[in-house]
Amino acid sequence: MQRKERFQHFIDYFTTHQPDAETELQYSNPYELLVAVILSAQCTDKRINKVTPAFFERYPTAEVLAASHFDEVFPFIRSVSYPNNKTKHLIGMARMLTEDFNGIVPGDIRELQKLPGVGRKTANVVASVIYNQPAMAVDTHVFRVSKRLGLVNQNSKTPLEVEKQLVRYIPDEYIARAHHWLILHGRYVCLARTPKCDECKIQHFCRYYERNRK
């Protein structure tokens, strides 16, 4: 099967079965999503959703967070991965957001990446979720699933390589949702160690299934 065919099957299936896929991180405004995505690096959304309610109650805005100190913030996120670095990043992000962006989360990916703790993946998530831009954030699930399905080259070694291929073949109108399609499929079906191929509904265009399970 040619790559274009796989992409068409991919879009056809998910627009039918998961047309409204969205992030599982809980948030109510752009600032909260930005905080949640920074916290979610190398950590599960489930864990982050347990931490953020108390965090947002104490630090409801970037201005409040910007005025805080490490020892105040750290206890709220001590249960997530790399809490020391993330505490520093969150305070630095809030201060820059307040001082340089008037407290408004920017929609431009380059501007977002100026904020402490915000790499390309985080910037793409915020730009796509908040501003519905055609930005493809590549996390471990997107990286794995897109290669298994055969949507991208098997020898792709970096998230940026994968991102460029996905953006090239997926129409702009679907890119923001496609990020969530790949994540959710990887989180619940196409697991890293033991993919649930027998339960998978997209076997018919999966390169991994073609080669390993038929």
pLDDT computed for residue 214 by the predictor: 58
**Cβ(115)–Cβ(93) under 8 Å?**
yes
Q: Is 4 a catalytic residue?
A: no
In this prediction, residue 96 carries a pLDDT of: 97
Catalytic-role residue among 20, 71, 139, 147: 139
In contact, 129 and 45? CB cutoff 8 Å:
no
pLDDT tens digit sequence for 117-153:
999 999 999 999 999 999 999 999 999 999 999 999 9
List of domains in the chain: 3-21+135-212 (1.10.1670.10), 30-131 (1.10.340.30)
Asked if 176 and 132 count as a contact pair (C-beta separation under 8 A), the reply is yes
Residue 43 is labelled as binding a ligand: no
Paired tokens of 123: 């910037």
Own/partner pairs, 41-46, CB within 8 angstroms, 24+ separation: 41/81, 41/82, 41/86, 41/122, 42/81, 42/82, 43/80, 43/81
Query: pTM for this structure?
Result: 0.92
CB-neighbour burial class of residue 158 (10 A; exposed 0-12, middle 13-18, buried 19+)? exposed
* Structure confidence at residue 2 (pLDDT): 87
SS3 27: coil
- 121 tagged catalytic: yes
**Residue ranges of the chain whose pLDDT lies below 50:** none
Q: Please give the pLDDT value at position 208.
A: 94
Instruction: Tell me the per-residue pLDDT of 74-94, one tens digit each, with 9 for 90 and over.
Output: 999 999 999 999 999 999 999
Give residue 1's pLDDT: 83
- The residue assigned the tokens 């299936």 is 13
Which of 114, 121, 196, 201 is labelled catalytic? 121
